[in-house]
Structure 1
Amino acid sequence: MKLHPLWADYPTLQKELIETRTLMESSVRLKNKEVEQAILTMIESGGKLLRPAYQLLFSRFGVENDRKKAIAIAASIELLHTATLIHDDIVDEADTRRGVASIRSKFGNSTAVYAGDYLFVSCFKLMSDYASSLKSLQLHSKSMEKILNGELGQMDHRYQYTITIEDYLDTISGKTAELFALSCGIGALESGTSERFAKKASDIGMAIGMAFQIIDDVLDYSQTDQSLGKPVLNDVKQGVYSLPLIISLSEQSPELLALIKKQTSMTIEDQQRIWEIVHETKGVEKAYQYAIDYTQKALKLISSLPDSPQKKELVQLTKTILDRIN
């Protein structure tokens, strides 16, 4: 089983992530083989597994060291993440995911809905089997609610030209960052740390998640000319506006606003001009500064943790979030 090359520098973590992926796959057992294959295809398509990695790292800070439990909770978190991705693709009518055909495009929307629903069930089944307290299950359910609210926030702001930076940050705090916060917080809590420590871990995860999403948005606008029009500019066409564009919209450019208002009638040439205006108005640079600020916040909080091998790995891994753009 191959993981992302990122994990070659973390041999212990790499081994546990392989076990996490194996457990995810073994938890998928359905009579309907089409849905089962759809789910396995998604799992095997190869995400970075960042969320379970953070969970595993924080699970080493406590007095308990039950690696079987830590791996099971890591698997449940990634199953939850995978479920949200499948449902995202249905809503966005996305044809690809991670460079391969999405489940909805390959198997149809009905199969994709059932696949996502099954993963939600699998997620909670693993949590109920391994979580040591009701507190962890409550955290899991509250996080799911926040993730959904983030998704609904994005839907509410579609084609909203007056969307603010605060609106965007509120949306991604649920849509993306909440699952990072859950990963870190529950990893600490289930390893026997204090609730105060677990809260700090959650805060670290939130800052990491915010930086991660903003960097993704910046990378979308850092594509070469050959990449223009997909996928970020298709998002613009569908009314989904990320931070670089929102910042540029705040500059009150009549040309940019006129292009955005074309909505689904937007041409490739229109999309390319939007890309150019976002760069001309420093939207990418200013968005990147937000990512730097959140990354520095995360690193400052990590620096206050007790010295340990996992602390060093947390620093190294978190810095890679910012390094992706360099």
Structure 2
Amino acid sequence: MTLHSMWEPFPTLQNDLTKTLAIMENSLHIKNKDVEQAIIEMIRAGGKLLRPAYQILFAQFGTEKDENKILALAAAIEMLHTATLIHDDIVDDSDLRRNLPTVRARFGNATAVYAGDYLFVACFRIMADYATSMKSLQMNSRSMEKILAGELGQMDKHYYTEVTVDDYLENISGKTAELFALSCAIGAFESGSTKMFSKKASEIGHNIGMAFQILDDILDYSQDRDAIGKPVLEDVRQGIYSLPLLYALEQNPTALKPLLAKKEQMTPDEALAVLHIVEETKGVERAQKLATKYTDDALKAIQKLPNHPDGVKETLLEITKLILHREN
């Protein structure tokens, strides 16, 4: 099973993530072969596996080193993430993810719904089998609630030009940052770390997730279709107004609002006009500045973690810089 090339400099973690994917596939026990095949193809679609990677790394700081449990819980985290992606693509009518057809595009909405639902069930089954206390299950269920709240918050603001930066930050805190926070916290907590350390791990994961989502949203205004695996300005066409556009709306609402009123009927020329206004108002630069703040907060907190004989802290720093496009 081939992993993303980013893991090649980290052979131990690469091996753990390969085992994590195997656990995910071996956990599938579905009579409906369409649903099973849809899940397998999503698992093998080339995701970076960032959330299980952080879970595995933070588990190394604990006093309990149960590899089977660590990897099983990492699989549960990635199952939860994969389920949310499948359901997101249904809601958004998305045909592409990671430059490949989505589950809904290939198998239809009905199969995609059941595939996502099954992964939610599988996630909780693994958590129930391996978690040492109800605390982890509570953390997981509360995180799912926050993730859903973030998705609903975003859906409620579709095509709403009065959405604020604070609204946006609240939504991505739920829909993206929460799962990064859960991954780090579960890794720490289930390996015997203190509550204080687990809380610090959660805060680090939150900041990483916030920066990660902002940077992902910036790509909608700065990269071509092949680079991000979906059409440029696709979010805008779907009424999802992310940070660069919100900053532009603050600066030039008069020019932008008539263009956004076109909704799905926005022409390529109108989309290009939106892009030019975002560039003129420095929406991308301002969004990048905020992403940098979250990145710096995460890196400073990682620097304060205890030293680890296997260089885990250094690995955390290197991976975090890598995924958040840091040079220093």
TM over 0.5: same fold? Answer: yes
Structure 1 contact 207–297 (Cα < 8 Å) conserved? yes
Structure 1 contact 215–325 (Cα < 8 Å) conserved? no
Structure 2 contact 218–244 (Cα < 8 Å) conserved? yes
Structure 1 contact 176–209 (Cα < 8 Å) conserved? yes
* SS at 2:222 equivalent: coil
CA distance in 2, matches of 1:102, 1:196: 40
1:39-87 CA-partner distances (Å, limit 9, x unpaired): 1011111100000000000000011111110000000000000000000
- Following superposition, the deviation at residue 131 of structure 1 comes to 0.6
- Following superposition, the deviation at residue 300 of structure 1 comes to 1.1
Q: CA RMSD in A?
A: 1.8
* SS at 1:79 equivalent: helix
- Following superposition, the deviation at residue 253 of structure 1 comes to 3.6
- The number of residue pairs the alignment matches comes to 326
1:45 maps onto 2:17 in alignment: no
Q: Which residue number in structure 1 is paired with residue 116 of structure 2? A: 116
Taking the TM superposition and a 5 Å limit, the aligned residue runs for 1:9-48 are 9-48=9-48
Q: Which residue number in structure 1 is paired with residue 320 of structure 2? A: 318
CA distance in 2, matches of 1:46, 1:265: 32
* SS at 1:9 equivalent: coil
TM-score normalized by structure 1? Answer: 0.97
Instruction: Call closer, same or farther: CA 1:40–1:172 in 2, change over 3 Å.
Output: same
Instruction: Tell me the percent identity.
Output: 59
**Equivalent AA in structure 1 for residue 239 of structure 2:** G
1:172 maps onto 2:152 in alignment: no
1:8 maps onto 2:8 in alignment: yes
Q: Which residue number in structure 1 is paired with residue 275 of structure 2? A: 275
Structure 2: state its 5+ residue gaps: none
1:184 maps onto 2:184 in alignment: yes
1:143 maps onto 2:155 in alignment: no
Structure 2 contact 59–70 (Cα < 8 Å) conserved? yes
1:106 maps onto 2:106 in alignment: yes
CA distance in 1, matches of 2:232, 2:112: 23
Structure 1: state its 5+ residue gaps: none
Structure 2 contact 220–235 (Cα < 8 Å) conserved? no
Q: Which residue number in structure 1 is paired with residue 97 of structure 2? A: 97
Instruction: Call closer, same or farther: CA 1:53–1:231 in 2, change over 3 Å.
Output: same
**Equivalent AA in structure 1 for residue 289 of structure 2:** Q
Instruction: Call closer, same or farther: CA 1:228–1:14 in 2, change over 3 Å.
Output: closer
Instruction: Call closer, same or farther: CA 1:158–1:324 in 2, change over 3 Å.
Output: farther
Structure 1 contact 215–321 (Cα < 8 Å) conserved? no
* SS at 2:152 equivalent: helix
CA distance in 2, matches of 1:323, 1:256: 29
